[in-house]
Chains A and B, each alone.
Chain A
Amino acid sequence: MQQVKPESKSDSVIVAENLTKKFGSFTAVDRISFDVKRGEIFGFLGANGAGKTTAMRMLSGLSIPTSGRGVVAGFDIGTETEMVKKNIGYMSQKFSLYDDLKVWENIELFGGIYGLKKTEIETKTDELMRALNFESERNKLVGELPLGFKQKLAFSVSIFHNPQVVFLDEPTGGVDPITRRQFWELIYDATSRGITVFVTTHYMDEAEYCDRVSIMVDGKIEALDTPAILKRQFNADSMDGVFQQLARKATRGDI
């Protein structure tokens, strides 16, 4: 039931204060407050229809809050949307690359959209291809790559412009645990470069990898802390146990 008050705002990359979104009489997100520190991996959990995606869309400037306030990367999400957009990366659950474009063309496109210079895009593409061991796939169409590859590439593209925060909406849906593990190594690598990661997931093993986790139930944040503290607090031996206890209280199903 605790709601963390943002204390030291200077080091917070995401601040939400009573963020609310209503669709008509339906309150999708109900006065949520939290803050996320720089370089943190913040897990955003909740059953389907709990309001995760709506909250994430408000934070990434896709949806205007009905009430409340949010600051992302130092910019107000209600009034400075354009600046917010420049400083964040976003990867949706339907990974967001073009199947009929080649690997390097996708990178070039998104680099161009974020205003990177051509030479910068070229050197960074080379680096990225080496780091991912993708050099032989460079000229392949994205549609021909296996799902795990696509997801890794989509993530790399979403942080290609070095954003302060990256929002990942269920990034690892549909792949095996080994590929998921590899994906998470990329996430750790990003945080080591100072990028803050805000991630929603359905997989409770992934929740264990997060620095802190919040669990949303029916539009409200019901729990927020490190996985270790949450497990102790709910007397569970895994995050799955914690989630089960909270999610059982939910009264809404899928939206």
Chain B
Amino acid sequence: MKQLMSFVRKEFYHIFRDKTTMMILLGIPVIQMILFGFALTTEVKNTRIVVLAPTYDEASERIISRLNNSAYFDVADRINSDDEIETVFRNGTARLVVVFEERFGEKLRHEGKAHVQLIADATDPNAATTFSFYASNIINDYQQDLMGATSNPYRITPEVKMLYNPQMIGAYNFVPGVLGMIIILICAMMTSIAIVREKEKGTMEILLVSPMKPIYSILSKITPYFVLSCINFASIILLSVFVLKVPVTGSFATLTFISLLYIFVSLALGLLISTFASTQLAAMLMSGMGLMMPVLLLSGMIFPVESMPYWLQLISNIIPARWYIEAVKAIMIQGLGFMAVWKEIAILTAMAFVLVAVSLKNFKVRLE
């Protein structure tokens, strides 16, 4: 135990003395969160819309002028047939097309209900949700006003249709995604580099020749990075809740639990990398290139796993970040609890065991 303590202290010295690296490790998550956060936060002011109103009547004109007078929308054009909708989006004339059904005003007056369709360009899903939501609200306001004026129950049903990304996957994904990416990169890269550095400098030999058990030297290497990652986890969550206003709607305890588990998996991954790499550069390439790309592209952080080709989906199964991000989405965004993510927890636990077992086996107790 005393051995372990003096060794853990040494690892903290290494980190504290290297101020640049420490600042990078703690600063990157903050910067990344802010960049991702504000890059993806969409300004919906003066979004251009195009109107398709086959029948000229009072009700539709009122709605159109309300839309136009709001701060959010500008009516850029009017079209006369469905065929032109496609062209509007292709040319970028507008990001939202408001389609009134035929005899809109007449139906509303006689039947008490009428339909209006909002077709959004959802290439940028965040923006699309926001402005369709605003447009629906404006239409609802008009309906409320109508109901207030007379006793007749009027109902205008706005029907929202997203083009190009109908499932709206990608919205608010960046918090879980950044969390998943930062943790795995910092843990895996830093641990593997720290261990390989000792190999390169020859100090590993001295540790191996000492009576210190290899498992101790591994544990103490991992400890400081575990602490650093917990700080990063805290700063990301704080930023996300207070700056980006993405709240943790589900169980915070479950979120913390699965994050600690994920941190451990990532550290074990770094350990495994360190048993293969013999230089710091190799370790950096293996963990940087080898992890960054799969995590960015296959974890569901940017591209939804569901829309990948089948064989890529299979590969994505072995990426820990995929399961973690999925669980964090369920907890943070959908507001679910432990029972909803037990599968992800089980998978990450299994991964942790396999990684530790393989790397311990690989860890060269004897320098052959």
Q: Which of A's residues lie within 8 Å of B, judged by CB?
A: 23, 57, 60-64, 82, 85-86, 88, 90-101, 105, 108-115, 141
Kindly identify which residue among A64, A93, A95, A99 contacts B366, using a CB–CB cutoff of 8 Å: A64
CB distance from A211 to the nearest CB of B (A): 24
4 closest residue pairs by CB, A with B: A112-B6, A94-B202, A96-B206, A90-B209
Cα A108 to Cα B206 with chains together (Å): 15
Q: Are B10 and A105 in contact (CB under 8 A)?
A: yes
Q: Are A100 and B210 in contact (CB under 8 A)?
A: no
| Interface check B2, CB cutoff 8 A | yes
Q: Are A92 and B2 in contact (CB under 8 A)?
A: no
- Residue among A91, A94, A141 with the highest chain B CB neighbour number at 10 A: A94
- Can you sample 28 A-B contacts with CB below 8 Å? A23-B368, A60-B209, A61-B366, A62-B208, A62-B366, A62-B367, A64-B366, A88-B209, A91-B206, A92-B205, A94-B201, A96-B203, A97-B203, A98-B10, A98-B203, A99-B201, A100-B13, A101-B13, A105-B10, A108-B6, A109-B7, A111-B6, A112-B6, A113-B3, A113-B7, A113-B207, A115-B2, A141-B17
Q: What chain B residues lie within 8 Å of A93 (beta carbons)?
A: 202
Q: What chain A residues lie within 8 Å of B23 (beta carbons)?
A: none
| Interface check B241, CB cutoff 8 A | no
Q: Are A92 and B211 in contact (CB under 8 A)?
A: no
Q: Are A114 and B202 in contact (CB under 8 A)?
A: no
CB distance from A51 to the nearest CB of B (A): 14
Kindly identify which residue among A62, A100, A105, A141 contacts B209, using a CB–CB cutoff of 8 Å: A62
Q: What chain A residues lie within 8 Å of B202 (beta carbons)?
A: 92-96
Q: Are A113 and B212 in contact (CB under 8 A)?
A: yes
- Residue among B14, B206, B367 with the highest chain A CB neighbour number at 10 A: B206
Cα A82 to Cα B213 with chains together (Å): 9
Q: Are B10 and A57 in contact (CB under 8 A)?
A: no
Q: What chain A residues lie within 8 Å of B206 (beta carbons)?
A: 90-92, 96, 110
Cα A55 to Cα B212 with chains together (Å): 22
| Interface check B5, CB cutoff 8 A | yes
Who on chain A is nearest to B212 by CB? A113
Q: What chain B residues lie within 8 Å of A61 (beta carbons)?
A: 209, 366
Cα A181 to Cα B275 with chains together (Å): 39
Q: What chain B residues lie within 8 Å of A82 (beta carbons)?
A: 211
- Residue among B9, B205, B209 with the highest chain A CB neighbour number at 10 A: B209
Q: What chain B residues lie within 8 Å of A86 (beta carbons)?
A: 211
Q: Are A112 and B5 in contact (CB under 8 A)?
A: yes
CB distance from B23 to the nearest CB of A (A): 16
Kindly identify which residue among A62, A64, A100 contacts B14, using a CB–CB cutoff of 8 Å: A100
- The bracket for how many chain B residues form the interface is 20 to 34
Interface residues of B in 121-141 (CB under 8 A from A): none
| Interface check B18, CB cutoff 8 A | yes
CB distance from A4 to the nearest CB of B (A): 26
Q: What chain A residues lie within 8 Å of B205 (beta carbons)?
A: 62, 90, 92, 96
Who on chain B is nearest to A102 by CB? B13
Interface residues of B in 6-31 (CB under 8 A from A): 6-7, 9-10, 13-14, 17-18
- Residue among A88, A96, A113 with the highest chain B CB neighbour number at 10 A: A113
CB distance from A150 to the nearest CB of B (A): 12
Who on chain B is nearest to A167 by CB? B209
Kindly identify which residue among A63, A85, A97, A105 contacts B210, using a CB–CB cutoff of 8 Å: A85
Cα A108 to Cα B212 with chains together (Å): 15
Q: Are A85 and B17 in contact (CB under 8 A)?
A: no
Q: What chain B residues lie within 8 Å of A101 (beta carbons)?
A: 10, 13-14, 17
CB distance from B74 to the nearest CB of A (A): 60
Cα A141 to Cα B216 with chains together (Å): 25
CB distance from B342 to the nearest CB of A (A): 41
CB distance from A251 to the nearest CB of B (A): 24
Q: What chain B residues lie within 8 Å of A113 (beta carbons)?
A: 3, 6-7, 207, 210-212
Q: What chain A residues lie within 8 Å of B14 (beta carbons)?
A: 98, 100-101
Q: What chain B residues lie within 8 Å of A92 (beta carbons)?
A: 202, 205-206
Not counting A62-B205, A94-B202, A98-B14, a sample of 12 additional A-B residue pairs whose C-beta atoms are within 8 angstroms of each other reads A64-B366, A86-B211, A88-B209, A92-B202, A96-B205, A100-B18, A101-B10, A111-B6, A113-B211, A115-B2, A115-B3, A141-B17
Q: What chain B residues lie within 8 Å of A57 (beta carbons)?
A: 367
Q: What chain B residues lie within 8 Å of A115 (beta carbons)?
A: 2-3, 211
